[in-house]
Structure 1
Amino acid sequence: MAESAGKPLLIELGVEELPIAAVDTLAVAFFNAVRKGLETRHFGIGREELDRTQQFYCSPRRLAVYLPWVACGQPRVHTKVLGPAVSMGLDAAGQAAAALRGFAAKIGVAVESLTREMTDKGERYVYVSEDVGQPLAALLPEILAEAVKALPIAKPMRWGAHAWSFVRPLHWLVVLHGDQVIEAELFGIRSTRHSRGHRFMADKPVWITDADAYVEALRGAKVIADPAQRRERIHGEVARVAAQLGGMPQMDDALLEQIANLTEWPVAIGCSFDASFLAVPQEALVATMVANQKFVPLLDDHGALLPRFIGVANIESRDETRIRHGYERVIRPRFADAKFFFDKDLKTPLATHQKALAAVVDQSALGSLWDKSVRVAELARVIANRVGADAAQAAHAASLAKCDLLTRMVGEFPELQGVMGRTYALAQGESPEIARALDEVYMPRGAGDTIAGSALGRVLAVAERADTLAGLFAIGGKPGGAKDPYALRRAALGLARTLIEGGLQLDTRGLLLEALDAIPETALAAGLKAAKVTTALDAGARRAALAAEIERFIIERLRGYYAEQGIAAGVFEAVLAVAPSSLVDFDRRLRALADFTRTPECATLVTANKRVANILRKQAETGDAAAAAINSALLEVPAERALVEALAAVRHASTTAATGRDYAGALAHLAALDAPLARFFDEVMVVAEDPAVRGNRLALLAQIRAAFNAIADIALV
């Protein structure tokens, strides 16, 4: 068998219907595990072909790996081992000497099997071996078993009287290398070339002639194995029916993925419901359709819900009416429940739930939900006063913000928290500003969501997240590794985004200290105990340490936020080095510096600043200190006098601009130092022999560094 010979490889696991949330994850993991098994055994896998070709297939009933080219066997391995020099290999009688016999014995061969080869160290005895490797057919069963064992299966299932377990019972196994079946066995099922078609429209064996024929063979049996093609078909089907019904489908990527993982041959069905249900907030109806039934809601041109929806069936039916009636029948009682919950909730003012919040534990060391509401209300009042919002409204909204958690509707649909608070507040006579803030307190809800749109909503969003971070860090809830059970990373980024994008000029450390001041000392003690800290630490010192830790945690979340916007890591570090107290100020400096890095002067100024920083650091290490001020009488070289004059000319303008937070203007002024600073380093010896001259020149460099550091440490760019 030639080492270069290869064929496409197909492995398909046929199972009972998989959990919809696991289909894509398992498919990717299965592909990666098979690929790893091949690579660790040195099988060629045709990387160029792999980059251009579909790597895996999946559907509710199958997980499949397809590799367009896999070598038929392991490569030949040539091994060369150098032995003793020829001059030492034979004795005077021409027989093998002890050194040669020992070498042959060590590698387990006869002396006669050794050859001689000229090397750069003279002629040596050499042992050369060749290992032809094993064929793919011999090792693939082992690779398959390892791959299946490595799959991330949260709750494996057992079936029959067997000891084995898997995500779902296995019913068929296809393993093809080109057109050849490779013998393998998994969970008692032996490999063949027979897949299975659609459970209802073609539930019979599907003959797979070769690995490349897999996709079309299944399509002929009413199975779209490629998940991307299945999603494309769903898009087309939904658009077709939506046009017939006269609405715009509301189908995000998450819903599309769920539908794709429920169907092998998706067909959209137009449906309707009683228009009287539209009296219920449309978010509740949409949540019911999407979360419980995976139906696609339809909206009108103004974004209002229509009394129509689309269900996606997993079958081409000769009588779509029966499917339509089934979908409509199943949604009716759910809508009726939602309407019942809504009508009942409307009869109970939100404020009446405040007393009940006291009976709901938030965190045992932090108290109840009412305790949290009180803390957030006080913090919101303080923040509102600082940013020019209505403090009384902020405190009142915060006191109501948790009340909808105790409503029937949110109890049934937790994802509607905030939405229902806004709806009930409006219906019960609260002002539109208060009602809106009850929803916006949760914004941004995710990475792609916008921040709160109103000033009051932003105040509540900041207060809520600051209290959450303060409380959970205090009791030892800081995330570790990949674990983040309280979603504190999301809370930190949401807080940072609201401050930055909302333009809230607040001292970050001060905000966190105020949030921590409201945390009970018993909670601080519980956190120290959980962390097994035995050193005595008073509450004030503990709060100060926590505020610094939380601030670092928040800023770390911003690394990815800015990286996604194309801002270089060096720019981030340069601004971080001067530690702006406000995240709004941090953002302004960052964007000004990012723009400055694109100017012609930036590169030379960065290099010069690095040189300045290194000189000042090294001289400080040797005990040479810069003079307190520049003495003009000690300026000996024209280049240093020119630099002093240039610094004096730009420093006032730069400082004025920086004071007004015009960091782009400040950097533009400082850019005028480019030429005189370059001339200074060309013509001036900073480390002069005269200590007074040396100190004077160091003072000049220190003032230049201070001028730049008023904005950012550009030496780090």
Structure 2
Amino acid sequence: MTNSRPLLIELGTEELPIGAIDLLASAFATKICEQLESHRIETEMEAVALERAPWPASRRTLHTIYATPRRIAVHITRVASSQSQFSEPVLGPSVQVGLDEGGNPTPALLGFAKKNGIAAEGKQLAQMLIDTPQGQRFGFHRNAGGRALVDLLPGLLAEAVKALPIAKPMRWGDHAWSFVRPLHWLVVLHGDQVIETEMFGIRSTRHSRGHRFMADKPVWITDADGYVEALRAAHVLADPTERRARIRGEVARVAAQLGGMPQMDDALLDQLANLTEWPVAIGCSFDSAFLAVPQEALISTMVANQKFVPLLDGHGHMLPRFIGVANIESRDETQIRHGYERVIRPRFADAKFFYDEDLKTPLAQHQQALAAVVDQPALGSLWDKSLRVAELARVIAGRVGADAAQAAHAASLAKCDLLTRMVGEFPELQGIMGRTYALAQGESPEIARALDEVYMPRAAGDTIAASTLGRVLAVAERADTLAGLFAIGGKPGGAKDPYALRRAALGLARTLIEGGLQLDTRGLLLEALDAIPEAALAAGLKAAKIASALDAGARRAALAEEIERFIVERLRGYYAEQGIAAGVFEAVLAVAPSSLVDLDRRLRALAEFSRLPECAALAAANKRVANILRKQAELGESPAANIDQSLIQVPSERTMMLALQIARDRINQAVRRHDYAEALAIPARVDLFQSAPGFFAPFDAPSLLAAIDDYFERVMIAVEDPAIRRNRLAILAEFQRVFATVADLSRL
């Protein structure tokens, strides 16, 4: 690259929305790199390995993203000072327009030539043809490129900023400019050279700004590579990764002093990093009397509203201490500490008031009020939903060995905490407060725990409910939600999923699979749909594209099938994350296991078996059989309904028949035990004929796999006698059925 130097672009603004900083900074860097590439300005690149890609690694521009509450910036390692030279086509009229009937240039072609300074005439013009997707056109190639970066950068910077994902642009001053926040300074450096440009009325310079309180003055940036250190000297950590590391270290330091373990997840860490440019942790405390309130409520308000870090003891109990992260290195931390303690006190006082008031009303007394809260207009109230879930939970509990009465009672209480003051203020505590109030009001620990576990898993990566009763409620709740919303036409479309049905479907599937609940998926959904009002079902007919001529039972059956497919589709990603190949998933799905637990067992057995060399041979044999049967079907010939022993003429056919019989019996026994690993291994077992004393196969290492190979070698399918031909096809069809007991190996 000619005269390549590092490039730095910084946009200095008012304080940015903390939830948008990371996205904006990443998008800004990406758009700048894309613009440089589209303008053919060379940059230093690095290889990037694409996940699960069979082709060589791609390449991307080497760059670093910087972001603080007051700035977004990108530093690109090396950028050329000018465009690369390239050739570009200049297109004129099409052949039909450029030549008349006699093949002579028309005025349109002559005008194109004159405009571009082409002196050629007649036949020379007729030879200037370029192939395009729309056909041949007159034209020529000219050398282009070579423009200086200083000339191109203003335009590409404007295009990059224009393309940023800004949800709510802000206007300021008396002009029409709009951006995420008002722009106050602009730094554009190519090496040590300022590239002059203007944006939103601000001209580019080499002056950034330091920390708003500790060094609020212009910061001279000597060159692009000196950016980070220049800002560090002005108490700004521009690198978000470095800032996050400093916060972790600061919080750990203060937590050790206070004798607690900090509860700071990635989401809180990101928020703290986007609120500070020079983070400093400060230890604080609160009145221990507030610990009478459930700690989930205290932690929720502390984190969500104040961005403070709670501290727990070694047993997971909350301590009357917390950590605030300030955006300043103060000479008097006491003032900041008192300020943090002062703002947390009214929050905790509100939580204690809500908790004390809620305890005065038993959960069951909220049931009547649930009838006044509409769930979905076509589906009725929250109390209607509670009744449906309670009945479904009672049925499920009876099938999995849980207490049916407990399940119905817990389901009738599960929505009651929605009407408490605490959940009204902190919706994220739904279920948690139900458990807390149930315990405080004398419900059994099993019932109380289920009121919380009904919402598990709450998010991707969360664990499922731990208790059987909680799993029963979780399954019933999600099955009713899917059934009701599909019935009224609420199925997600494209990227839109307003009712979070994809999450509900995956949560239902995970609870069944990981909880080992052996339930017929289609039957479960039919029972959930049976409880949906007929009027609601009719409302969703058009959206679901189900014929209104079908009776109620047929409508529900069609919906149950659709919901089951929707649930199973969610499992593709679930198993892909566990390293199970798509072909394995398709092979098992083809045999339509009745329960998700059974599907999971078959998948894991086949995934393990697919790593063995025998699997490839068996899959190849299955594909060969499937191809033969398909081709014969295309010719209008199907296998005989039953295998006729009298039509067997070749010893290899008899061997094949015996191998199939023995393998089928042993596979069926293994399947009844749900031992799918054994069932898959049987066709390749060389001891297959031990159960047939005195029988000797006409080949070594007798197995079903060896038998089918010998069958292909010695038996001709396409014989003239149609009865024999159809009988031999029947043997292949039986081979296919035996293998399909566990999975369709031809799909591997």
Deviation at 1:176, TM superposition (A): 1.3
* Structure 2 length-normalised TM: 0.89
Aligned counterpart, 1:705: 736
Aligned counterpart, 2:98: none
Secondary structure of the structure 2 residue equivalent to 1:705: helix
1:371-396, Cα deviation, whole Å (9 max, x unpaired) = 11011101111111111111100000
Aligned counterpart, 1:677: 708
Structure 2 stretches lacking a partner, 5+ long: 48-58, 92-103, 128-138, 686-703
Using a 3 Å threshold, how does the CA distance of structure 1 residues 679 and 299 change in structure 2: closer, same or farther?
A: same
Q: In 1, Cα distance between the equivalents of 2:250 and 2:706?
A: 65
Q: In 1, Cα distance between the equivalents of 2:288 and 2:577?
A: 44
Aligned counterpart, 2:26: 28
1:586-640, Cα deviation, whole Å (9 max, x unpaired) = 1111111101101120001111101111111111121222122333343333333
Q: In 2, Cα distance between the equivalents of 1:325 and 1:79?
A: 67
Aligned counterpart, 2:42: 44
Equivalent of residue 346 in structure 2, options 325, 333, 355: 333
1:571-596, Cα deviation, whole Å (9 max, x unpaired) = 00111111111101111111111011
Q: Does 1:62 align with 2:71?
A: yes
Q: In 1, Cα distance between the equivalents of 2:622 and 2:546?
A: 42
Deviation at 1:670, TM superposition (A): 2.2
Using a 3 Å threshold, how does the CA distance of structure 1 residues 164 and 98 change in structure 2: closer, same or farther?
A: closer
Q: In 1, Cα distance between the equivalents of 2:174 and 2:544?
A: 47
Q: Does 1:631 align with 2:672?
A: no
Please tell me whether the aligned partners of residues 410 and 416 of structure 1 are also in contact (alpha carbons under 8 angstroms). yes
Q: Does 1:258 align with 2:275?
A: no
Deviation at 1:658, TM superposition (A): 1.0
User: What residue identity is the alignment partner of 1:66?
Assistant: H
1:218-240, Cα deviation, whole Å (9 max, x unpaired) = 11111111111111111111111
Aligned counterpart, 1:616: 629
Please tell me whether the aligned partners of residues 454 and 470 of structure 2 are also in contact (alpha carbons under 8 angstroms). yes
Equivalent of residue 520 in structure 1, options 533, 552, 575: 533
Equivalent of residue 474 in structure 1, options 477, 482, 487: 487
Q: In 2, Cα distance between the equivalents of 1:70 and 1:539?
A: 68
User: What residue identity is the alignment partner of 2:118?
Assistant: V
The total of aligned residue pairs comes to 692
Aligned counterpart, 2:220: 207
1:539-561, Cα deviation, whole Å (9 max, x unpaired) = 33322221111111111110000
Equivalent of residue 211 in structure 2, options 176, 180, 198: 198
User: What residue identity is the alignment partner of 2:168?
Assistant: K
User: What residue identity is the alignment partner of 2:670?
Assistant: A
1:617-670, Cα deviation, whole Å (9 max, x unpaired) = 111121222122333343333333332222222211111111222111111112
Please tell me whether the aligned partners of residues 61 and 76 of structure 2 are also in contact (alpha carbons under 8 angstroms). no
**Coordinate RMSD, CA, aligned:** 2.5
Aligned counterpart, 2:296: 283
Within 5 Å, which residues of 2 pair with 1:222-621? 222-528=235-541, 535-621=548-634
Deviation at 1:209, TM superposition (A): 1.4
User: What residue identity is the alignment partner of 1:502?
Assistant: G
User: What residue identity is the alignment partner of 2:313?
Assistant: D
Deviation at 1:159, TM superposition (A): 1.4
Deviation at 1:52, TM superposition (A): 8.8
1:60-105, Cα deviation, whole Å (9 max, x unpaired) = 11111221122222211136999xxxxxxxxxxxxxx999x98976
1:262-294, Cα deviation, whole Å (9 max, x unpaired) = 111111111111111111111011101111111
Q: Does 1:715 align with 2:746?
A: yes
User: What residue identity is the alignment partner of 1:453?
Assistant: A
User: What residue identity is the alignment partner of 1:507?
Assistant: D
Secondary structure of the structure 2 residue equivalent to 1:525: helix
Secondary structure of the structure 1 residue equivalent to 2:164: coil
Q: In 1, Cα distance between the equivalents of 2:277 and 2:394?
A: 55
Aligned counterpart, 2:133: none
Please tell me whether the aligned partners of residues 651 and 670 of structure 1 are also in contact (alpha carbons under 8 angstroms). no
Q: In 1, Cα distance between the equivalents of 2:709 and 2:65?
A: 58
Q: Does 1:654 align with 2:667?
A: yes
User: What residue identity is the alignment partner of 2:70?
Assistant: R
Equivalent of residue 6 in structure 2, options 5, 8, 16: 8
Q: In 1, Cα distance between the equivalents of 2:301 and 2:389?
A: 31
Aligned counterpart, 2:697: none
1:403-446, Cα deviation, whole Å (9 max, x unpaired) = 00000111111000000000000000000000000000000001
Deviation at 1:334, TM superposition (A): 0.7
Secondary structure of the structure 2 residue equivalent to 1:570: helix
Q: In 2, Cα distance between the equivalents of 1:111 and 1:51?
A: 44
Deviation at 1:710, TM superposition (A): 1.1
Secondary structure of the structure 2 residue equivalent to 1:172: strand
Within 5 Å, which residues of 2 pair with 1:149-164? 149-164=162-177
Please tell me whether the aligned partners of residues 187 and 204 of structure 2 are also in contact (alpha carbons under 8 angstroms). yes
Aligned counterpart, 1:18: 16
Deviation at 1:359, TM superposition (A): 0.8
Q: In 2, Cα distance between the equivalents of 1:496 and 1:610?
A: 31
Deviation at 1:182, TM superposition (A): 1.4
Structure 1 stretches lacking a partner, 5+ long: 83-96, 118-125
Deviation at 1:147, TM superposition (A): 1.6
Deviation at 1:309, TM superposition (A): 0.8
Secondary structure of the structure 2 residue equivalent to 1:48: strand
Q: In 1, Cα distance between the equivalents of 2:36 and 2:532?
A: 55
1:291-322, Cα deviation, whole Å (9 max, x unpaired) = 11111111111111111111111111111111
Residue range with higher mean Cα deviation, 633-642 or 381-390:
633-642
Runs of 4+ aligned residues of structure 1 deviating over 6 Å after TM superposition are 101-107, 531-534
User: What residue identity is the alignment partner of 2:214?
Assistant: M
Q: In 1, Cα distance between the equivalents of 2:547 and 2:575?
A: 39
1:179-220, Cα deviation, whole Å (9 max, x unpaired) = 211122111111111111111111111111111111111111
Secondary structure of the structure 2 residue equivalent to 1:55: strand
Please tell me whether the aligned partners of residues 44 and 61 of structure 2 are also in contact (alpha carbons under 8 angstroms). no
Within 5 Å, which residues of 2 pair with 1:116-127? none
Q: In 1, Cα distance between the equivalents of 2:168 and 2:113?
A: 55
Please tell me whether the aligned partners of residues 546 and 555 of structure 2 are also in contact (alpha carbons under 8 angstroms). no
1:238-274, Cα deviation, whole Å (9 max, x unpaired) = 1111111111111111111111111111111111111
Aligned counterpart, 1:110: 119
Using a 3 Å threshold, how does the CA distance of structure 1 residues 228 and 579 change in structure 2: closer, same or farther?
A: same
> How many percent of aligned residue pairs carry the same amino acid?
75
Q: Does 1:75 align with 2:78?
A: no
Residue range with higher mean Cα deviation, 175-184 or 348-357:
175-184
1:19-48, Cα deviation, whole Å (9 max, x unpaired) = 111111111111122222222222222222
Residue range with higher mean Cα deviation, 235-244 or 63-72:
63-72
Q: In 2, Cα distance between the equivalents of 1:416 and 1:473?
A: 27
Secondary structure of the structure 2 residue equivalent to 1:173: strand
Using a 3 Å threshold, how does the CA distance of structure 1 residues 288 and 81 change in structure 2: closer, same or farther?
A: closer
Deviation at 1:485, TM superposition (A): 1.1
Using a 3 Å threshold, how does the CA distance of structure 1 residues 81 and 336 change in structure 2: closer, same or farther?
A: closer
Q: In 1, Cα distance between the equivalents of 2:743 and 2:481?
A: 31
Using a 3 Å threshold, how does the CA distance of structure 1 residues 131 and 405 change in structure 2: closer, same or farther?
A: same
1:493-529, Cα deviation, whole Å (9 max, x unpaired) = 0000000000111111111111111111221222235
Please tell me whether the aligned partners of residues 242 and 249 of structure 1 are also in contact (alpha carbons under 8 angstroms). yes
